């Protein structure tokens, strides 16, 4: 039908371990798309500005303690509270560059030992990314970049477990990029992939939902 051929923005997600370069690359992608004249927004999860986001932030800063399943559901709720705005932005033609998404939610909780299917369940029905850019880096190398701060999860042994969980979630929407390369090289590879994806969405690629 004609609705499925609607031109729209692309949902582009960057994922990877702490210090893999997601934040640097997200803002470079945002600027270059903007420079090309595309309508584009830069988002990140957790969104620490909402009420739920403030609870998450205080947990990450080790200021509060929460049960593993409780924090998992808060991270998910933080995506659900943005879902309708996400859909309207995409349908209005705006491309979203999103720094972390449901894959972080599942990888970090499963790395604590929670069942992966249980972790995925609350993500079902969120919008599926058109492209997941996984910035692949050895946990040891990431740890050397600028050093870890004081946030929960910023520990080498835990990051190793997270990386194993991430790689189990790969599907057709994922592209794995070597994040140990110089920033400009990583950027070049990401740009090409993003432009392809934006083009497909402009031509009417239908929106879909997690988890297929
Ligand atoms: N979490 C969760 O458990 N469940 C969820 O559902 C979600 C998240 C969404 C907060 O994430 C924590 O929440 C996170 C996962 C969990 N915990 N951990 N780990 P966050 O996104 O707020 O914070 P972050 O992951 O710690 O992001 P980050 O520190 O901002 O890292 P980054 O964005 O990947 O990297 P960066 O800031 O772009 O770069 C880090 C440094 O490396 C910086 O000095 C750069 O200049 C340098 N860098 C970057 N690229 C390169 C290259 N190519 N070469 C050399 N140096 C580089």
- Compute the distance between CA of residue 32 and CA of residue 199 in angstroms, rounded to an integer: 15
Q: Confirm or reject: Cβ of 154 under 6 Å from ligand 1.
A: yes
Q: Which ligand 1 atom sits nearest the alpha carbon of residue 109?
A: 3
Res. 149 pLDDT band, cuts 50 70 90: confident
Distance (angstroms) between ligand 1 centre and the Cα of 146 equals 11
Q: Confirm or reject: Cβ of 15 under 6 Å from ligand 1.
A: no
Determine which residue's CA is closest to atom 52 belonging to ligand 1.
Answer: 183
In order of 32, 94, 112, the CA distances from 60 in angstroms are: 31, 30, 15
Residue 209 in 3-state DSSP? strand
Q: Is the pLDDT reported for residue 2 higher than 70?
A: no
Portion of the chain with pLDDT greater than 70, in percent: 98
Q: What is the mean pLDDT of the chain?
A: 95
pLDDT at 146: 72
- Compute the distance between CA of residue 72 and CA of residue 202 in angstroms, rounded to an integer: 34
- Compute the distance between CA of residue 174 and CA of residue 193 in angstroms, rounded to an integer: 11
Which range is least confidently modeled, 63-67, 68-72, 149-153, 162-166?
A: 149-153
Helix (H) or strand (E) holding 167: helix 156-168
Structure tokens at 39: 């309508």
Its ipTM equals 0.97
* pTM greater than 0.90 (yes/no): yes
Select the more confidently predicted residue: 129 or 154.
Answer: 129
pLDDT at 3: 52
Q: Confirm or reject: Cβ of 134 under 6 Å from ligand 1.
A: no
Q: Is the pLDDT reported for residue 117 higher than 70?
A: yes
Q: Confirm or reject: Cβ of 163 under 6 Å from ligand 1.
A: no
Distance (angstroms) between ligand 1 centre and the Cα of 104 equals 11
Strand-pairing partners, residue 132, are 13, 174
Q: Confirm or reject: Cβ of 89 under 6 Å from ligand 1.
A: no
Question: In terms of Cα–Cα distance, which of 12, 15, 13 is closest to 168?
Answer: 15
Q: Is the pLDDT reported for residue 147 higher than 80?
A: no
Determine which residue's CA is closest to atom 2 belonging to ligand 1.
Answer: 105
Helix (H) or strand (E) holding 48: none
Structure tokens at 112: 């604590």
pLDDT at 150: 74
- Over the stretch 99-115, which tens digit does the pLDDT of each residue have? 999 999 999 999 999 99
Structure tokens at 116: 């992966």
Q: Confirm or reject: Cβ of 146 under 6 Å from ligand 1.
A: yes
């Amino acid at each position: 039908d004609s609705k499925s051929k609607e031109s729209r923005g692309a949902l582009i997600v960057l994922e990877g371990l702490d210090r893999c370069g997601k934040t640097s690359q997200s803002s470079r992608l945002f600027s270059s798309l903007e420079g090309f004249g595309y309508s584009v927004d830069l988002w990140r999860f957790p969104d620490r500005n909402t009420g739920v986001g403030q609870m998450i932030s205080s947990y990450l800063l080790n200021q509060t303690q929460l049960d593993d399943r409780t924090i998992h559901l808060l991270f998910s709720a933080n995506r659900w509270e943005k879902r309708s705005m996400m859909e309207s932005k995409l349908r209005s033609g705006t491309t979203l560059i999103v720094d972390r998404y449901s894959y972080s939610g599942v990888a970090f909780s499963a790395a604590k030992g929670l069942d992966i299917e249980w972790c995925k369940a609350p993500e079902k029905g969120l919008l599926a990314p058109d492209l997941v850019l996984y910035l692949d880096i050895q946990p040891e190398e990431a740890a050397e970049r600028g050093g870890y701060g004081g946030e929960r999860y910023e520990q080498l042994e835990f990051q190793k477990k997270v990386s194993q969980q991430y790689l189990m979630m790969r599907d057709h929407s994922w592209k794995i990029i070597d994040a140990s390369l110089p920033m400009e090289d990583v950027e070049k590879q990401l740009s090409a992939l993003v432009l392809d994806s934006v083009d497909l969405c402009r031509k009417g690629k239908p929106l879909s939902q997690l988890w297929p």
